[in-house]
Chains A and B, each alone.
Chain A
Amino acid sequence: MQNISMTINGKPVSGDVEGRTLLVEFLRNDLHLTGTHVGCDTSQCGACAIHVNGIIVKSCTMFAADADGALVDTIEGQANADGSLNKIQQAFQDHHGLQCGFCTPGMVMAAADLLKNNPTPTEAEVRHHLDGNICRCTGYHNIIKAIMAASGQDVSAIAAE
């Protein structure tokens, strides 16, 4: 066991972990931050996507000990300070960008990562940026639409309610 500490969603935390403890396990099991999900074991589905030191990573493919000292952001810290949905979250709700909700935390984190570096992405850029996030419910249409809307672009020409 080794003691690690990090800052998660602005709050300092620490805990004892084994070498093999994955970052997602530390989040879910030790800190009870269950918004970050596990959808596969081959590092592909992106349900576990979070930000470590400001960039998106898959928390199922990083050891907790490797995040010692890091700044970590998860879905639980994304809402506005008053608890209301942030711009991306609100766009997902407005455009029905989620159904079962399981991939959604990873999608929101991926969208935030994209818009930070590319404030007005094209449709193709949004789709490409989601290469590591699998959704089985939506056919992606409304996810793409929501992310483009969150970027301030007019999505009224994109079909459907």
Chain B
Amino acid sequence: MNLHPMKLVTIVCEAYAADAVLRLLAEVGTAGHTSFPVEGSGARGRRLADIPEYANTQFEVITRPEVAALLLERLGAELFPRYAMVAYESDVRVLRPGKF
């Protein structure tokens, strides 16, 4: 099978940050994303997500390495100071590179 290297950027943030993340994804030129509600705990303690307003969202974005780098850089500079969030990048391999 012919697989192509890509980057997977995962962003876990409070739901209040979701709009800002979506705007940033569009600005840096990602081709798509998947998001879902999550709960858990972090450096600042539990992140209760018992009602939708306090929920946390996980975004997964597969993109080219240069876009992933730009995305992480702008996340760190623009959104990290404002919102509770973590973000990380990992290597993945995809079937159809043209989609990303």
The answer on A and B forming one complex is: no
**Hey, which bits of chain A sit against chain B, CB under 8 A?**
none
